[in-house]
Amino acid sequence: MRSLATVAAANLGRPMPPRLSIDGNRFTLIDSAGNERPHNLLTLDIVIIDLNDHTSKMYWGKEYNPNDTGDIPICWSDNGEAPSVQAQTPQSPKCMTCPHNAIGSAISKFTGTKIKACVDMKKVAFIVPGEQGIYLMTIKPGSFKNWSAYVNMLAGQKSNTHPGGVELYEVVTQLAFESQGVLKFSPVGWSKIDEAQAAFDRGVTPEIVGANDQPWQGQLAGPQPGTTALPPPVQPTPQANAQGPFVSAPSPTPSAPSSVAPAQSVQPMDGVQPEKRKRRTKAEIEADNARAAQATVMPPAGTQFMQSSPTVTAPFPNPQPAPNPVLAPPAQGVPAAQPPTGQAAVPNADGLDIPAFLRREQPVQQAAQPSPAQFGLAQPAAPDKSMQAAIDAAFALPTG
């Protein structure tokens, strides 16, 4: 019959080998079934019989919990090239290009320094002198310095019988704690070579240290787990009144004034009472036409308009509300104004007849500019004497 146990074990993935735990700065031997045997001394004597030629890597994807014996890393490697074919969730096609293998991908909770999220470790197989069983010990980055010094020290012990230096399996190595989670290594005697050789000949050490691990050859289907794809940059939306170096607020453009100022209410002059509404006379119509002609004068180029005053004040106060000469037709029953004898009426652009003595021969090109100390609208130029006389006659005002 075929070996059912072998097939069942293969389908369950790689089992955890017997191993050494140093959690809590205590030595504990754990068998493959998870049974623990605490070591009551602060030092432990071992004989190292094999090791992995490559640096192993292990990524948990979360904070490691030593009390969770069933917890396994989601990605790991013992082959020194890529995630293992047995890794649960490979994080990168190659270990060298994996973002979790970069310094700064995690922060040490003990020292606060930048470290790798994927932990480097050295895997060695050892026996306890005088006992049965082969165990795995993982040397972590905090102990790398002491491990390197210990190995180099043994390699430097050259003699006639040891031309290449002392081998690790030839000595009893004592483990002790230098600080929290940091091991130090010391030679304390010669080992029994026959015992170390017999343990090595069992052929289980390559499986224990992961020397037979094969690299994963697949391709990642999407974003790496544990990483978040950056969203596309958000383009700023220009606002109507946005201010800044990249968005300019539109400059307000003063609207051109109407050719005829709109009608508005004007207060009477001091000491003059407004007259009651009555039928307009010929003189009144001529005065209205004169005011309309005065309103058509455009300000010179460059004249600024105040945004808070959309209308232009008439140059002379009007005791009566005057209708807009553009929109309001002449009153019914009142004959059109006739110019004095010898003067012809010339229609203006608005279709109104303006007497020649009220019509300007040339349009005014430039209005009086306000002095630098003044604010608001520019003061209008004084009317000529003929126009003033006509207005005074229309309203029978004293000329004093």
* b/e per residue 44-71 (b: at least 16 CB within 10 A): bbbbbbbbbebebbbbbeeeeeeeeeee
Task: Please report the pLDDT score of residue 62 as a whole number.
Answer: 82
Residue range 63-73, pLDDT digits in tens: 766 666 557 88
**Residue 317: pLDDT band by 50, 70, 90 thresholds?**
very low
Q: Is position 16 within any domain? A: yes
Q: Is position 147 within any domain? A: yes
Which residue would you say has higher pLDDT here, 223 or 98?
98
Residue range 252-262: average pLDDT? 45
C-alpha 178/C-alpha 175 separation (Å) is: 10
SS3 398: coil
Domain of 92 in residue numbering reads as 10-209
Contact, 41 vs 26, CB < 8 A?
Answer: no
Residue range 117-150, pLDDT digits in tens: 999 999 999 999 999 999 999 999 999 999 999 9
**Residue 74: pLDDT band by 50, 70, 90 thresholds?**
very high
Q: Which of 155-159, 175-179, 328-332 has the lowest mean pLDDT?
A: 328-332
Question: Which pTM does this prediction carry?
Answer: 0.53
C-alpha 127/C-alpha 195 separation (Å) is: 9
Beta strands 114-115 and 106-107 are antiparallel
Helices of type H across 163-217:
193-201, 205-209
Q: Is position 37 within any domain? A: yes
Task: Please report the pLDDT score of residue 355 as a whole number.
Answer: 61
Task: Please report the pLDDT score of residue 228 as a whole number.
Answer: 42
∠ Cα 187 193 195 (to 5°): 110
Task: Please report the pLDDT score of residue 274 as a whole number.
Answer: 52
Number of domains in the chain: 1
Contact, 173 vs 46, CB < 8 A?
Answer: yes
Q: Is position 55 within any domain? A: yes
Q: Is position 189 within any domain? A: yes
Q: Is position 77 within any domain? A: yes
Contact, 53 vs 209, CB < 8 A?
Answer: no
Q: Which of 136-140, 172-176, 304-308, 347-351 has the lowest mean pLDDT?
A: 304-308
Count CA atoms closer than 13 A to 158's CA, side-chain side: 5
Q: Is position 216 within any domain? A: no
CB-neighbour burial class of residue 110 (10 A; exposed 0-12, middle 13-18, buried 19+) = exposed
Q: Is position 359 within any domain? A: no
Query: Could you give the C-alpha distances from 196 to 53, 87, 163, 240, in angstroms and in order?
Result: 19, 31, 21, 83
Q: Which of 213-217, 244-248, 325-329 has the lowest mean pLDDT?
A: 244-248
Work out the mean pLDDT of the chain and round it to a whole number.
Answer: 74
pLDDT for 336 beyond 60 = no
Q: Report residue 254 as tokens.
A: 């003063």
Q: Report residue 370 as tokens.
A: 């306000």
